[in-house]
Amino acid sequence: MGFALLPVLVSVLTIQYSAAQSFKCSSSYPSTCHALVGYITVNNTNLGAIQSLFSVKNLRSLLGANNLPLNTKRSYAIPAQQVIKVPINCLCNNNTGTSSGAPIYTVQPGDGLYHIAAEVFSRLLLFQQIAAANNIRDVNLITIGDKLKIPLPCSCDEVDGQKVVHYAHMVKSGSSLGEIAQEFGTNEETLARINGIKADSDLKADQPIDVPLKACNSSISGDSFDFPLLAANGTYLFTANGCVKCMCDAANNWTKVYIFKPLTISGILALQSANFHIIYNYAVLVRLHCEPSQNKPSKWDTCPSMKCQGAEGLSIGNSTAAGCNRSTCSYAGFNNSTIMTTLVQDSSSCSRTASPPSNDVSRINSSWDCLFILVVLCFHLFQ
Ligand SMILES: *[C@@H]1O[C@H](CO)[C@@H](O)[C@H](O)[C@H]1NC(C)=O
Ligand SMILES: *[C@@H]1O[C@H](CO)[C@@H](O)[C@H](O)[C@H]1NC(C)=O
Ligand SMILES: *[C@@H]1O[C@H](CO)[C@@H](O)[C@H](O)[C@H]1NC(C)=O
Ligand SMILES: *[C@@H]1O[C@H](CO)[C@@H](O)[C@H](O)[C@H]1NC(C)=O
Ligand SMILES: *[C@@H]1O[C@H](CO)[C@@H](O)[C@H](O)[C@H]1NC(C)=O
Ligand SMILES: *[C@@H]1O[C@H](CO)[C@@H](O)[C@H](O)[C@H]1NC(C)=O
Ligand SMILES: *[C@@H]1O[C@H](CO)[C@@H](O)[C@H](O)[C@H]1NC(C)=O
Ligand SMILES: *[C@@H]1O[C@H](CO)[C@@H](O)[C@H](O)[C@H]1NC(C)=O
Ligand SMILES: *[C@@H]1O[C@H](CO)[C@@H](O)[C@H](O)[C@H]1NC(C)=O
Ligand SMILES: *[C@@H]1O[C@H](CO)[C@@H](O)[C@H](O)[C@H]1NC(C)=O
């Protein structure tokens, strides 16, 4: 009897542990997206070793995720205990997100599943999750040379109506939701909600927490192979078979500033779903800046044309200004044969309080806004 019970107990434990450490990904059909995990280096190492550990195809995607210069070499030294952002492909299925296809880890002499999860992959996942993903029945029985799928936590969910890049951040002991929110430009309520926790006391050190990073707004078309093309703030990436380099940098000239005073809740929602970042009493649309990469493409012999139709001479990333109006030739995606472009008109510098981006926002009614803000303030003060 005792023997028969044992496997049942183990599987119950496995389910509990997995539930505690996977990220919610609620897309109703299987979908994929780009995500990041924060790997904490165990020993002194270099970029090349991290690239192979996580089976990252191109070094430049590792460089872009960490905003390192493009000429950084594989031998670039990384000291122990440093956080490196590693790009992964996320597969969202059955309410959970896990990395798909990579990393694949080859079992070395002396390895155990616990060592692989807790030491090699810096606790980004639990050994029970590796066991489950690889149908390993006896966690003490793995063979040198076995190739193990490593299901890292990730998500593709929109957050508050915005497309974001989900980042698996390892919680340090003693840190709080407020600190993490501030470090990554989000807020405590959102962090708590998407991680299914209530308070700082629910935060567990050395476990990953799902942090939604703001992504740049692009002109990407829904039928592009790389839709929705999400680049997190402060990162760059390559797309269109390597022909195009895109940068998400809040500090560059691609920032639009609108000043609204004050905002309604529907105004806020409308702005957020149009990908604006609301900062105190103004809103910013951080646009993805893309330009030809000058790289040799991976699937084409040469890169297709990157010129905007009807604006001869303008390539992706170029703009012309007529007074305060600016038109920019923007990257709009790619397919088997074509790189798509679109001309984006921007008149936000025509006046300090530029026109709102949508009808919803222009329906703002000031008196109700003040009332709303008062109610919210009182609620927070007196609860
Ligand atoms: C989906 O998840 C539930 C519990 O989270 C599990 O019982 C079920 O087996 C899963 N289905 C598939 C197809 O993985
Ligand atoms: C780190 O270095 C120690 C000592 O050399 C070694 O035992 C351990 O396996 C290394 N850890 C990893 C994850 O490489
Ligand atoms: C984007 O990153 C910069 C620094 O890299 C930071 O100053 C800025 O607050 C971030 N913006 C958002 C909206 O997260
Ligand atoms: C950035 O914006 C400033 C002010 O709008 C302008 O003077 C400058 O030329 C711009 N720089 C680039 C590289 O477009
Ligand atoms: C970018 O912003 C525009 C207007 O604000 C919006 O219509 C569009 O959906 C956004 N694109 C993405 C990819 O979020
Ligand atoms: C377009 O941008 C490229 C750099 O990406 C620059 O070399 C070129 O001169 C620009 N062309 C025009 C017409 O501004
Ligand atoms: C800017 O564009 C608007 C319409 O988009 C137009 O009414 C206005 O005259 C333009 N201003 C300049 C200086 O070209
Ligand atoms: C690629 O996109 C272009 C522009 O949208 C379109 O004309 C062309 O038919 C598409 N080609 C394929 C193979 O889908
Ligand atoms: C794109 O090309 C691949 C092979 O190169 C082919 O399998 C696929 O069907 C093509 N897709 C489209 C939309 O033409
Ligand atoms: C704002 O709402 C108040 C109360 O409903 C109404 O009396 C007023 O006319 C509205 N103002 C505008 C500009 O719509």
* Angstrom distance (rounded) from CA 149 to CA 101: 8
Which ligand has the minimum distance to the alpha carbon of residue 223?
8
Give the closest residue (by CA) to ligand 9 atom 2: 336
Any ligand 5 atom below 6 A from CB of 272? no
336, 337, 338, 340, best to mutate for ligand 9 pocket (most atoms within 8 Å of CB): 336
Calculate how far, in angstroms, residue 311's C-alpha sits from the geometric centre of ligand 5. 22
Token pair listed for 255: 């920032």
| pLDDT at residue 277 in the model | 66
Phi, psi torsion values for 184, nearest 5 degrees? -110, 15
| pLDDT at residue 51 in the model | 96
Residue 180, classed as helix, strand or coil, is: helix
Predicted model pTM:
0.79
Name residues contacting ligand 9 (CB within 6 A).
Answer: 335-336
| pLDDT at residue 228 in the model | 87
| pLDDT at residue 321 in the model | 84
Q: Is the distance from CB of 95 to CB of 22 less than 8 angstroms? A: no
Query: Which ligand 9 atom minimizes the distance to the CA of 335?
Result: 13
| pLDDT at residue 199 in the model | 87
* Angstrom distance (rounded) from CA 32 to CA 281: 35
Going from the C-alpha of 246 to that of each of 91, 122, 333, 343, the distances in angstroms are: 23, 30, 11, 16
pLDDT tens, N- to C-terminus, the chain (383 residues): 334 333 333 333 443 343 457 899 987 778 888 999 999 999 999 999 999 999 999 999 999 999 999 999 999 999 999 999 999 999 998 889 999 988 999 999 999 999 999 999 999 999 999 999 999 988 888 889 999 999 999 999 988 878 899 999 999 998 999 999 999 988 899 999 999 998 888 888 899 999 999 888 888 998 999 888 999 988 999 999 999 999 988 665 444 444 445 666 776 776 666 566 666 556 666 788 899 998 899 999 999 999 998 877 899 999 888 887 888 899 999 999 999 999 888 766 665 444 444 433 333 333 333 333 333 333 333 32
Any ligand 2 atom below 6 A from CB of 120? yes
Count of beta carbons in the 10 Å neighbourhood of residue 24:
17
Residue of 273, 225, 218, 228 whose CA lies nearest to 248: 218
261, 362, 364, 365, best to mutate for ligand 10 pocket (most atoms within 8 Å of CB): 365
Give the closest residue (by CA) to ligand 3 atom 12: 185
Residue 331, classed as helix, strand or coil, is: strand
The rounded Cα 294 to chain-centroid distance in angstroms is 25
For CA atoms 308, 230, 250, 256, give the dihedral sign: positive
Which ligand has the minimum distance to the alpha carbon of residue 233?
3
| pLDDT at residue 175 in the model | 92
* Angstrom distance (rounded) from CA 78 to CA 60: 16
| pLDDT at residue 375 in the model | 33
Going from the C-alpha of 128 to that of each of 14, 16, 80, 159, 285, the distances in angstroms are: 6, 10, 25, 29, 42
Which ligand has the minimum distance to the alpha carbon of residue 322?
7
Residue 188, classed as helix, strand or coil, is: helix
Please give the DSSP secondary-structure letter assigned to residue 118.
I
